[in-house]
Structure 1
Amino acid sequence: MFSYRHAFHAGNHADVFKHVALVAILRHLTQKETALWVIDTHAGAGLYRLDGDHAGTSGEAGHGIFKLAETLGTHDTIDGQPLAPAIADYLEHVRAFNRKGEMRVYPGSPFLAQRLLRTETRDKLKLFELHPSDSKALAGHVAQLDAGRQVTMDRADGFEALKALLPPPSRRALVLMDPSYEIKSDYGKVVAALKDSLHRFATGTYAVWYPIIPRPEAHDLPRRLKTLANQAHKPWLNASLAIGQDDQPPTPGEVHRPGLLASGLFVINPPHTLKPALQEALPQLLHVLGRGRGKGQVLEAGG
């Protein structure tokens, strides 16, 4: 049950896509003066070494953050076009965790979120992680922030813990759900948790990351989320990025081919700025990270 470690996948194409969107969402939600709660149900370790054993073994960051950073270099254009603001904003926050010119540390969702939260409005960050090793690492990383009561974490099932937090006192929250989906029941738990959350707090913003893989549960999840949002009469946005299958043979010394080729993000009650932000960012991400057969991007909205 506890075999999944995000450290092997940190900074891959799915992280880049998810975190570009996350930063764009938070950039909008923090414009309003009322306090914002950010709840991450599956926070992972929070910070990851890209030059460590885990990331080095998988090499997935090479198809993600490394490729994006190397393609841009000191330039601010992609394919002759100005860099999408959402990508530029994301890169600025990632680089803030690294020395100039280096890319050794990758911030997960908790640390990207914390950088965007405000102290004067008493924004809060609530983190949950059940994996014993990752929760221990997360606790240590959170302690280094010295953020006081702004950031709290618990070793707990985020799906269950969410129930006690909704609605938040300020009536404003972003809930991020991105379990590993290592076990099939995670797909059903996402839908059940969202249904319960919308009942408790209908106006919250909910972002669900999901893998696009040849598994029936994965194929059905976006459809089930659309049905749930439509039944609740809530607006939604669904975006996906597929980097495609690389036709080139492995380079000497390459350990293995990255297994995940595509992922999606489903957002209920998305900020009105998210769709135009992704309309600019997705084609540029695809241009840089796409590599072969099956690459593509989808952006659809409803409600």
Structure 2
Amino acid sequence: MNYRHSFHAGNSADVVKHSLLIALVRALQQKQSALTLIDTHAGCGLYDLNGEEAGRTGEAAQGVLRAFADANPLLDDYRAAVQAVNAGVNMGDGPQLYPGSPKFLAQLLRPQDLLILNEKHPEDVHTLRVAMRGTPAAVHQRDAYELWLAMVPPRTPRGVVVIDPPYEQTDERARITATLAAAHRKWAHGVTVIWYPLKERPTHAQWKHQLRKLGIPKFLTVEHWLYDRDQPGIYNGAGLFIVNPPYAFTQGLPPLLEAMRAALAPEGHRGELTAEWLGG
């Protein structure tokens, strides 16, 4: 599956991913000690929802635009972060620009926190550097999995690594599994977030089985299945694996998940947005 960020900016997966990232980082920031936030597949940082690539798919209509049309206050933090990059833009028809994970993370930084971004694609990394001007982010152009291992443990007492690949390579899941195992050996208490698309339940169940065998004690999976039945051969939703989520984050999950499920459910479907522990 090819899931390049620019074609899918602002879709339902982005709403879930970025809402949960905000909640996760804010839960960690209840402690004053510094955080290092690392995004291994950072993309372009900022996307034009009316541009050629996002406009070709039109997926924002079923994602960020639904979130903006919903009145649930649990989505206020997400909407505020999107509005922040649309300052000075007429929002009458909804946001025109969509922030990628780097922009969401940059908005969450405290003075003591660090932000490290990585993007291997030569055109995208140039766009990313332009998008992140004026922020304290350090931008790298390296192999994502090599950088992941090199950056952990971070120099700050705590940190979060976000892995959000396009799944273009057939061995992507195998590389994630192997690198996660190695990274966890180096940094057992670190927080790791891995995004993944959902296509077919049996295939995904096999990957979860492989990850469960790693024996990581605190391993949460959040899955958003858009449709009440699998739609063969198409994108059916997305999820996050979260290693070592803080207690404050997990305690606040149920109402947030229900708010997003209700806002994003396609017409004629209830959808499913759930969290379960893989280990521990």
TM-score, scaled relative to structure 2: 0.90
Considering only aligned residues, what root-mean-square deviation do their CA atoms show, in Å?
Answer: 2.2
Residue number in structure 2 paired with 1:114: 106
How many residue pairs get matched? 271
Partner of 1:137: 127
Which of residues 82, 103, 113 in structure 2 aligns to 1:94? 82
State the shift of 1:64 in Å: 0.2
Matches within 5 A, 1:1-303: 5-70=4-69, 72=70, 76-77=71-72, 83-84=73-74, 87-99=75-87, 101=91, 102-119=94-111, 121=112, 123-142=113-132, 144=133, 146-147=134-135, 150-214=136-200, 218-228=204-214, 231-232=215-216, 234-244=217-227, 259-291=234-266, 292-293=268-269, 295-301=271-277, 302-303=279-280
The Cα shift of 1:159 comes to 0.7
Aligned residue for 1:273, secondary structure, equals helix
Cα 1:293–1:90, aligned 2, differ >3 Å: closer, same or farther?
closer
Q: What one-letter code is carried by the residue in structure 1 that aligns with 2:211?
A: L
Note the residue ranges of structure 2 that are not aligned, 5 or more in a row.
Answer: none
Tell me, which stretches of 5 or more residues in structure 1 are unaligned? 78-82, 247-257
Match of 1:251 in 2: none
Matches of 2:3 and 2:160, distance apart in 1: 25
Q: Deviations over 1:125-183 (max 9, x none)?
A: 111111122112112112x2x23xx3111111111112221111223110111111122
The question of whether the paired residues in 1 share the 8 Å contact of 2:45 and 2:103 is answered with: yes
Q: Tell me how far apart the structure 2 counterparts of residues 298 and 4 of structure 1 sit (CA, whole Å).
A: 22
Counterpart CA distance in 1 for 2:123 and 2:3 is 11
Secondary structure in 1 matching 2:223: strand
Q: TM-score, normalised on structure 1?
A: 0.83
Q: For 1:132, give the aligned amino acid.
A: P
Which 4+ runs in 1 deviate beyond 4 A?
none
Q: Percent identity?
A: 35
- Residue 217 of structure 1 and its aligned partner are, at CA, apart by 5.1
Q: Following TM superposition, by how much is the alpha carbon of 1:238 offset from its aligned partner in structure 2, in angstroms?
A: 1.1
CA contact (8 A) 2:67 2:79 kept: no
How far is 1:295 from its partner?
A: 2.2
